[in-house]
Each structure stands twice: as structure tokens, then as C-alpha cells.
Amino acid sequence: MQKLNLKESQTIEFKEVWKDEYLKTICAFANSDGGVIYIGIDDSSNIVGLKDTKNIIEVLPNKVNNRLGLIVDINLRYKSSLEYIEMIIQKTYAPISYNGKFYKRSGSNTIELNGVNLTNFLLKKYGKTWDDVSEEKFGLDEIDLSTIEKFKKLSRDRIPDIQSQTNLEELLRKLNLYDGEYLKRAAILLFGKNPQMYYVQSHSKIGRFLSETDIQSSDIIEGNLIDQVDKIMDVLRLKYLKAYISYEGMHRREKLEYPYEALREAVINALIHRDYTNTSNLQIKVYDDKLVMYNGATLSSEVPIDRFDKPHQSKPFNPTMANVFYKCGFIENWGRGTLNIIDDCVEYGLPKPLFEYEWTAVRTTFFKTTQETTQETTQETTQETTQETTKSKIVKLLKENPKYTKQDMMNILNKGDSTIKEHLANLKREGIITRVGSTKSGYWKILKGDNE
């Protein structure tokens, strides 16, 4: 049997005979990257031939045009004594429907679009992105002015005259956050007082997990995206991540179990590349041996998941919001976000993070160092000696400057009021220091070293 030297793919489809239901395949090719349908070829690329090819060639172009509004090229092909038809479909820049439904190609399959996928498809076909659409119900009075001021401070390097910009509407228009007389969705998420009132899925979740099903604690982070970046990082740092403490002279150093900048970059990437038509939210799960971020996303075909650890172009899913994040210094425009995350982890002595795409979500996994046991031992030793170290530091401070106040010691040693007060009381009780004069004008006198 004669064979065609081709295989079915994203742009090639074989049909043994013509059936009108195959109009949806033509629809799918037009909505994707175009393609070719060979009629008279079976699924194994065998040429089975067609009868009445003359009639098909005369009727089919009009049928496709009447039902889909498309003009296709149809050619009669020969192989030995067998005839088959080649139909060439061009990619269209307007969406094409068949019987009120929209189809696209996914590999060698024709799939119907619905829900989130249909929304994104239609927006893209009309040259829009989700964040670029206006929201008529949202008013200028719902913009959070404190976030605007925060943005002004952050964007001074990239918008030199930003501080002189006092007209709020004019500023938002310069940031491309207006569509005619209405503010865009991007404005709500970036600067809104309560964006969750419009898009409930725009909050983020952080949880401490003992196993995949056993959650120990959790937090919900709300507010606009510019504020969420700092809120998420503060909650992670103060509540969920261990910090290994060391001292360099008088300076206290804290080293998180994961690199701060890598985590922050991952959080920013997640917020700015999220598919906000997806009902899931950004989820950060902290385990004993790893940290996992789940982010609902629709990846660009130009930057698939296997390109995340390689140089790639920048293709933000929400370009209007990405532009604002760029101006305030949160991101660069070079597609280096994931590469920076990898570099930071490697420099920190950690394994490379893992990027995966599953169930319309990007999953980023940070792994702890293989020297975990050493770190835990260091942390335990630090915890055991912190009390003694703080006591010694206080004595050293007072030797250098007997007029240091309790507040001075709190600031220098990064300790709370009750901690400093307790150590001072113990040092006085042990006869190491004494207070001379009043609280305001007095000073500390060292009676003996704390190691005597």
C-alpha cells in the first residue's frame, strides 16, 4: 500500500473520507497555527484514495465558506492510481466558530474551548489581555493612595519626575491603566483598596504542612498586588521559615533556610504571571524539606515550562501589570526571573529549584540543602547559646558607651523590650553592672566582667 511520508501533528490531519463534522477540524486549524487536512489518507499515513474527487473539490470550498466564513485552498493529488485531496487552511486573526462553538488544535487533537481557555482565546484574538480590560464599576475613589505613594518611592529611578506627579488620574493614565473613561482590571489589582471585592481569587495563601494532607497553620494574604509582595515575604520570614543566627563583631546576622531574593522573585513572578480567570489562588506550602508555590497560569507556547531554566524572552501573561511592576523595580524586562531564582539558590548552596506545569498551574519547588543536619545542629547550638551571647553583648556595649539606653540596646541587638529588661536585671543581680544616677541623665557602671 502506498504511504504518505507525513505524520499527524499540530498542523496535519488525515481523513479517509469527507464528513461535514470535520468542519470543526478546519475551525481548529484556523484558530491555531493553520494546517493541512489530507482526505483519502488513513491514520497510519496509508493512501486509501477517494472516489468522486471532482464533486468534492467543487462543493467543499463553498461549504467551508458558508459555514465558517473561510476560504481554503483545495488541491487534487495523485499517488500511482490513487487520488486524494489536500486542503490548506490558513491561520486567522479573528476567532472562528463552528455551530456556536470554538475549537483549537492541541498536538494532533482537536479540542473544544470553554471556560477559562475560551476567555483567554477570545481576548488574545481581539488583541487584548485579561488585565487590559476595563471595569466600569471601579472608581477612582477606590484607589489606595498609600500604595500610590509607595509606588512613587519605588519608581523614582525609572520615572525621574514621578514625585512631582500630583494628579492621580493623570498618573494612572500615564501608566496605561485607563481604557477611555474607565479604569482597567490592572489598576484594581495593583492599586485597589479591596481588589478581592472584584476578584475573590486574587488573594494568596501560605500554609505550614507536616505532610501532603496534614496542615499545621495557615495565613491568607489580601490587598493589592504591590502590597501583597511585602506582606507575603514578611509572613514567610517571621512565621514560616527558620533563620540561622550568627554574629560578625557587633552585628547580628540572620540567614533564612531559603534565599530571600529567590523567594521574593518567585512571589513576584507568580503574582504578575497569574491567570486571574483561574479560580485558584497563589498557594505557598512550607514543608520540613521543601517549599512549594502553586500558581494558576496559562503558559505561552513561546516560553514552555522546559525553557524556564534556560535563557528565554519575556512574555508576561499580564503585560499591563508587568509594565507597572517593571517601573517600580520589581521585575526586569529580559525574561531572567527564573534564571535569577536558580542562580540565587545555587549560590546559597541549595539544589536548583524545580519548575513544573500541571493542571493549568505552575509549580515551583525549592529544596533544602543536603547539609540540613548540619544546619539544624547549628540552629540548636545557636538557640542554646543565644541567652549567654546576648548577655555578653550587653556588657560589651556598656563598656563602649555607658550612656546607652535600653532603647539603644534594643535597636543594636535587634531584641525586644522584655528581653533587654530581663538581661539588665540579671546582670545587676549578679553584680556585673549597676545603674548610676537617674534614668534620663545617668549611666551604667561595669563592676566586673560577665565571665568572672
Q: For 322-359, what is each residue's pLDDT tens digit?
A: 999 999 989 887 678 888 999 999 999 999 999 998 87
Q: How many folded domains does the chain comprise? A: 3
Last residue of a domain, one of 303, 338, 370: 370
128 and 258 fall within a common domain: yes
CA-CA-CA-CA torsion sign (311, 313, 317, 320): positive
Q: Residues 125-134: what's their mean pLDDT?
A: 90
Are 286 and 225 in the same domain? yes
Task: Verify that 177 and 294 share a domain, yes or no.
Answer: yes
Q: Which residues contact 293 (CB under 8 A, 6 or more apart)?
A: 266, 267, 270, 282, 283, 284, 285, 362, 363, 364, 365
**Do 127 and 152 reside in the same domain of the chain?**
yes
Please state which of the ranges 262-271, 276-285, 362-371 shows the lowest mean pLDDT: 362-371
Residue 183 lies in a domain: yes
Q: Which three cell numbers stand for residue 446?
A: 561595669
Binned at pLDDT 50, 70 and 90, residue 360 comes out as confident
Domain with 400, as residue range(s), is 385-446
Pairing between β-strand 101-106 and β-strand 97-98 as defined by DSSP bridges: antiparallel
Give a yes or no: residue 80 inside a domain.
yes
Quick check: 7 and 45 in contact, CB under 8 A?
yes
Judge whether residue 279 has pLDDT over 80: yes
Grid coordinates representing 417 are 523590650
Q: Which of 312, 341, 370 is the last residue of a domain?
A: 370
- Is residue 394 a contact partner of residue 409, using CB atoms and an 8 Å limit? yes
56: Cβ–Cβ under 8 A, 6 or more apart, which residues? 18, 39, 50, 85
pLDDT tier, 450 (very low <50, low <70, confident <90, very high otherwise): low
- Does residue 414 form part of some domain? yes
Same domain, residue pair 240 and 286: yes
Which of 129-143, 155-169, 252-266, 305-319 is the least confident region? 305-319
Q: Quick one: 102 and 173 in the same domain?
A: no
Are 39 and 147 in a shared domain? no
**Nearest to residue 199, comparing CAs of 255, 281, 260?**
281
pLDDT recorded at residue 8: 93
306 in helix, strand or coil? helix
Asked if residue 297 and residue 176 are part of one domain, the reply reads yes
- DSSP, res 41: B
- pLDDT category at 380 given cuts 50, 70, 90 is very low
Own/partner contacts of 236-241, CB < 8 Å, gap of 24 or more, are 236/206, 236/263, 236/284, 236/286, 239/206, 240/206, 240/208, 240/286, 241/286, 241/291
Tell me, yes or no, whether 240 and 340 share the same domain: yes
Q: Which residue has the higher pLDDT, 383 or 88?
A: 88
Q: Determine the Cα–Cα distance for residues 1 and 15; give it in Å rounded to an integer.
A: 16
Say if pTM beats, i.e. exceeds, 0.95: no
64 touches 72 (CB < 8 A): yes
Q: Please answer whether residues 217 and 208 qualify as being in contact, where contact means their C-beta atoms are separated by less than 8 angstroms.
A: yes
